Amino acid sequence: MGKEEMNTELRTSYDKLFVNNSQWVDKIVHEDPNFFVNLAKGQTPEVLWIGCSDSRVPANEVTGTKPGDIFVHRNIANMCVHSDMNMLSVLDYAVNVLKVKHVIVAGHYGCGGVAAALTGKQYGLIDNWLRHIKDVYRLHKGEIDGIGDQVAKDKRMVELNAIEQAANLSKTTIIQNAWKQRDDLAIHAIVIDLESGYLKDLGVTTTSTSKLDDVFDLTTSV
Ligand code: CO
């Protein structure tokens, strides 16, 4: 058993990754001979990036950063679901062990997950995940329904979804307890414009529980 299991086409597309990897290593080592030696010593990223799984929105490339700079969690439509043990584990480790300074929820225009959530179609198992996006629609139904153009509607939903997911983070005890202990932790919501490549800050950066509704602020009686 091994690579010979694959037909030629499969093998070529798989092998290409290793060829590319080798070229990538050569290029980096040429610029900095100690890059990987230093990288292997440990990580001190200042950013946790929660983005979409979409292949067009890689965290390092769109921010011009290098391996070691960004701790990453990605799922379909960059969701922060408070019962998702995977997201919570990443968040806890990033905030409490790595002590990241920024948690960035990054949506992107043209998000297939968000577009699918705005339809009444079945897509399979993912329908259960998309329900969380439909909940965002329910919170902003008036605004979204008021937009006539479907592309504009999808774009605004992408923005509102990133904003709501960032708000979800600030409702976790992980973030709230960290805010009690330190003042160098900010949560942001941004979008990536696939057509231009540019990032856009959505203006909802948060560094405390001050704007949270009382029932979501879990630090008042602790
Ligand atoms: Co997406």
Q: Considering its fold, how many domains does the chain have in total? A: 2
131 in the same domain as 99: yes
Q: What digits encode the pLDDT tens for the residues 195-204? A: 999 999 999 9
Amino acid identity, position 205: T
16 in the same domain as 118: no
Concerning whether 102 is annotated as a catalytic residue, the answer is no
- Ligand 1 centroid–CA 26 distance in Å is 32
pLDDT for residue 91 is more than 90: yes
Residue 206, pLDDT score? 97
Residue 4, pLDDT score? 83
159 in the same domain as 51: yes
- Are 85 and 102 in contact by the 8 Å Cβ rule? The answer is no
Q: What digits encode the pLDDT tens for the residues 104-147? A: 999 999 999 999 999 999 999 999 999 999 999 999 999 999 99
Amino acid identity, position 145: D
pLDDT for residue 222 is more than 70: no
Domain-embedded: residue 221: no
Query: What is the phi/psi pair of residue 187, to 5°?
Result: -110, 135
What DSSP state is assigned to residue 141? Answer: H
pLDDT for residue 85 is more than 80: yes
Q: CA quadruple 34, 35, 37, 42: dihedral positive or negative?
A: positive
Q: Among the options 73, 80, 111, 154, which is catalytic?
A: 111
Q: Among the options 108, 132, 156, 188, which is catalytic?
A: 108
Cα separation, 99 vs 218, in Å, equals: 21
- Are 102 and 184 in contact by the 8 Å Cβ rule? The answer is no
125 in the same domain as 100: yes
Domain-embedded: residue 86: yes
- Ligand 1 centroid–CA 115 distance in Å is 9
Q: What digits encode the pLDDT tens for the residues 53-84? A: 999 999 999 999 999 999 999 999 999 999 99
Q: Among the options 11, 56, 82, 131, which is catalytic?
A: 56
190 in the same domain as 84: yes
